[in-house]
Chains A and B, each alone.
Chain A
């Protein structure tokens, strides 16, 4: 057997705690942990093991990673291991001094979320007054010469303001604007009927982005992550299971994907029980969907099997109950009608939004 490739990226989810309540959060529905959050010393060992394993980038995320008092210490530890450090944050709760500490610790780049281009809409979706603080933190980051990516998750309630969102990114002078449609797992799956845009909204958004790229030129760079429900083929989720990415959850569970905890029947190892390298190469859960051997038809004989890797395992599980099924987004999937039906249902029956809550 060929040895598995080594991972490039570690998503370090330092905590599931967060001041925001976004209804499309990628965290699991069950946010309360049975175990405690990992201590600083354990995270430092995890970072060292990640560097040995070949990880190049660490994305410090959450929940809200700024809630961890040891964030700057962990960033410094990662930089000491020559890892590239990226902070994914709501920007809430950070003072200018904390930003400066992160700068001194060697943080390479920041990604700050924005829920909507209008303050009132932003604060409603985030479940907290946050727009002004985000604006202030982005300005402070620019003063410290941090490269900033503004990340806006798109859905039915903000997609019509995509042009305003782009104008705001220009005004705030960010380096990169990521317009990423909701991925319907986790909280977003629960709220799917309330969040799915219409086909017309999606098409118009693509036109607006194309025009804005012309207008804005080189700055900011605009990334537009298309919604897979409207595509012909599934996304190459994680670029393949157990191939380039791994996640360590706040309680030390090691996951091939941050959403994988939703898949019933998978058993996840913990960083206390084995080294990251042992887990990556030997844990059954990392082998489960690695490569192409696990694939059913129509994936198994499909010429795209090493392009999209059968799509998203979590999505396949959530939609069909079988994690090994072809991602129903694929037009070749025998379950593709589930997608068509979801689009029709959400268009005729707008649903209530359920905000993220500890439960």
Chain B
């Protein structure tokens, strides 16, 4: 297996979209073949992307949620999204 490209500044992969499901009242990531339901902290992490690095995202959320977002949990969550190819590094889509 080739080494995965390391993600520094996560963005949603092309074809992946965040949406709030009004009917079910849940956060979702939607991609061509499915839907992933996000909990509140997962949704907060995804909504904090905005071109930030993973470290910056964790810092922003820690300030916002008074340390309720643990860095290790956030990193594990992002790794799971990357394994499912729902996120990638911003440079992978729009190379500088």
**A residues less than 8 Å from B32 (CB atoms):** 86, 108-109, 111, 147, 149, 176
Residue of A53, A221, A223 near B23 (CB, 8 A) is: A53
**B residues less than 8 Å from A268 (CB atoms):** none
B91 in the interface (beta carbon within 8 A): no
Instruction: Determine the residue in chain A with the shortest Cβ distance to B4.
Output: A218
In the complex, the answer to whether A6 meets B23 with C-beta atoms within 8 Å is yes
In the complex, the answer to whether B19 meets A175 with C-beta atoms within 8 Å is no
Residue of B4, B5, B13, B19 near A84 (CB, 8 A) is: B19
Contact with B along A167-201 (1 / 0, CB 8 A): 00000000110000000000000000000000000
User: Which range holds the interface residue count of chain A?
Assistant: 20 to 34
B40 in the interface (beta carbon within 8 A): no
**B residues less than 8 Å from A223 (CB atoms):** 33
In the complex, the answer to whether A57 meets B35 with C-beta atoms within 8 Å is yes
A293 in the interface (beta carbon within 8 A): no
For residues 27 through 63 of chain B, which have their beta carbon under 8 Å from a beta carbon of chain A?
28, 30-33, 35
In the complex, the answer to whether A175 meets B4 with C-beta atoms within 8 Å is no
A54 in the interface (beta carbon within 8 A): yes
In the assembly, what is the distance between CA of A264 and CA of B67, in Å? 60
In the complex, the answer to whether A56 meets B35 with C-beta atoms within 8 Å is yes
Instruction: Determine the residue in chain B with the shortest Cβ distance to A145.
Output: B14
Instruction: Determine the residue in chain A with the shortest Cβ distance to B93.
Output: A145
In the assembly, what is the distance between CA of A149 and CA of B17, in Å? 16
In the complex, the answer to whether B2 meets A175 with C-beta atoms within 8 Å is no
A265 in the interface (beta carbon within 8 A): no
A8 in the interface (beta carbon within 8 A): yes
Instruction: Determine the residue in chain A with the shortest Cβ distance to B20.
Output: A82
For residues 97 through 119 of chain A, which have their beta carbon under 8 Å from a beta carbon of chain B?
108-109, 111
Q: A8-B35, A86-B32 are in contact. Are A214 and B1 (CB under 8 A)?
A: yes
B75 in the interface (beta carbon within 8 A): no
B85 in the interface (beta carbon within 8 A): yes
In the assembly, what is the distance between CA of A171 and CA of B66, in Å? 48
B68 in the interface (beta carbon within 8 A): no
Instruction: Determine the residue in chain B with the shortest Cβ distance to A244.
Output: B35
Instruction: Determine the residue in chain B with the shortest Cβ distance to A87.
Output: B32
B15 in the interface (beta carbon within 8 A): yes
In the complex, the answer to whether B85 meets A56 with C-beta atoms within 8 Å is no
In the complex, the answer to whether A109 meets B15 with C-beta atoms within 8 Å is yes
Nearest Cβ distance between residue B93 and chain A, in whole angstroms?
Answer: 8
In the assembly, what is the distance between CA of A60 and CA of B35, in Å? 17
In the assembly, what is the distance between CA of A109 and CA of B1, in Å? 27
In the assembly, what is the distance between CA of A180 and CA of B24, in Å? 31
Instruction: Determine the residue in chain A with the shortest Cβ distance to B3.
Output: A217
In the assembly, what is the distance between CA of A213 and CA of B35, in Å? 24
In the assembly, what is the distance between CA of A214 and CA of B2, in Å? 7
**B residues less than 8 Å from A96 (CB atoms):** none
In the complex, the answer to whether A221 meets B85 with C-beta atoms within 8 Å is yes
Residue of B23, B30, B85 near A52 (CB, 8 A) is: B23
In the assembly, what is the distance between CA of A54 and CA of B23, in Å? 6
In the complex, the answer to whether A56 meets B28 with C-beta atoms within 8 Å is yes
In the assembly, what is the distance between CA of A223 and CA of B34, in Å? 13
In the assembly, what is the distance between CA of A6 and CA of B35, in Å? 13
In the complex, the answer to whether B15 meets A218 with C-beta atoms within 8 Å is no
For residues 296 through 350 of chain A, which have their beta carbon under 8 Å from a beta carbon of chain B?
none
For residues 205 through 253 of chain A, which have their beta carbon under 8 Å from a beta carbon of chain B?
213-214, 216-218, 221, 223
A-B contact pairs, 26 of them (CB 8 A): A6-B23, A8-B35, A51-B23, A52-B23, A53-B23, A54-B24, A56-B21, A56-B30, A56-B35, A84-B17, A86-B32, A109-B15, A109-B31, A109-B32, A111-B32, A146-B14, A147-B13, A147-B15, A147-B32, A149-B32, A213-B1, A217-B4, A218-B2, A218-B5, A218-B85, A223-B33
Top 6 closest pairs, chain A to chain B, by CB:
A217-B2, A147-B15, A54-B23, A84-B30, A109-B15, A109-B32
Other than the given A175-B14, A175-B15, 19 more pairs (CB < 8 A) read A6-B24, A8-B35, A51-B23, A53-B23, A54-B21, A56-B28, A84-B19, A86-B32, A108-B32, A109-B15, A145-B93, A146-B14, A216-B2, A217-B1, A217-B2, A217-B4, A218-B4, A218-B5, A218-B85
